[in-house]
Amino acid sequence: MKYPFNHGRRDILKAAGACAVTLTFGSLPSAARADAPDSKLKIGVIGSGRVGGTLGSVWAKAGHPVMFSSLDLEADKKLAASVGANARAGSTREAAQFGDVLLISVPYTALPALGRDLGDILKGKIVIDTSNPIVARDGDMAVSAREKGAGISSQEFLPGARIVRAFNAIGFARMGEAHKDKGKVGMPIAGDDQKAIETASGLIREIGYEPVLVGTLAGMGKFLIPGTPLGGEHTPAEIKQIAGTLK
């Protein structure tokens, strides 16, 4: 099965070189496993375009083993070679099997096929879901997903995955540089699984953002898309304030 991934390779390689849940929102404790200096998570990147390629590159340079995957294995191999020893490339299935944590960053129309083809692997996996339903690109399924809420829709497409929505409402351009100015920009996240939230939070801090839990996939996941009040860059305090006004 082929998934309609976006690549933007020239931008990726440039960026790579530069570079029971408590549902009240707030800054989160770091995940012990993700933050421990001698314990690094294996990360499978499914969709190594501008977002996936940039984030995977930063994590690899922080010491995490990363496997990039997309529809273009040769481009993924070049990306991995440019990143260094902690990066490698493989098929989407290999990346899903490889990762303790998966970063899924594909056009929203690819999620149903991923769920069908990787369902046996995705069950129980921590998944950081960056994918957004964009009506102009994804058509009717995006309309439906936005009406239902992207958090719920992603959970339906990827059954059994322990999903945390993150990196959805912020541009990719500074993702490779945020670690140079840690904690000043907040990252709104939504999820239902405490361990997944903690693990994702540790990885988000390594990128340079301060994670702010705004709520559940059903309750607040619908706001983690471009064009909502949570879109764009905000301080952690501003995210808490904005989230408090949303229903």
pLDDT tens series, the chain, 247 aa: 445 554 443 343 333 333 333 334 454 443 333 443 347 999 999 999 999 999 999 999 999 999 999 999 999 999 999 999 999 999 999 999 999 999 999 999 999 999 999 989 999 999 999 999 999 998 998 899 999 899 999 999 999 999 999 999 888 888 888 877 787 899 999 999 999 999 999 999 999 999 999 999 999 989 999 889 999 999 999 999 999 999 7
Judge whether 228 lies within some domain.
yes
Judge whether 2 lies within some domain.
no
- For residue 80, what are the domain limits? 9-19+23-243
- Measure the CA–CA gap between 164 and 68, rounded to whole angstroms: 19
Judge whether 188 lies within some domain.
yes
Q: Where are any strands of DSSP class E within 70-169?
A: 87-89, 101-104, 126-129, 162-165
Judge whether 3 lies within some domain.
no
What is residue 107's three-state secondary structure? coil
pTM value?
0.85
Q: Check residue 234 and report its DSSP letter.
A: -
Task: Tell me the CATH number at 116.
Answer: 3.40.50.720
Judge whether 136 lies within some domain.
yes
What is residue 245's three-state secondary structure? coil
The domain tally of the chain equals 1
Judge whether 232 lies within some domain.
yes
What is residue 174's three-state secondary structure? coil
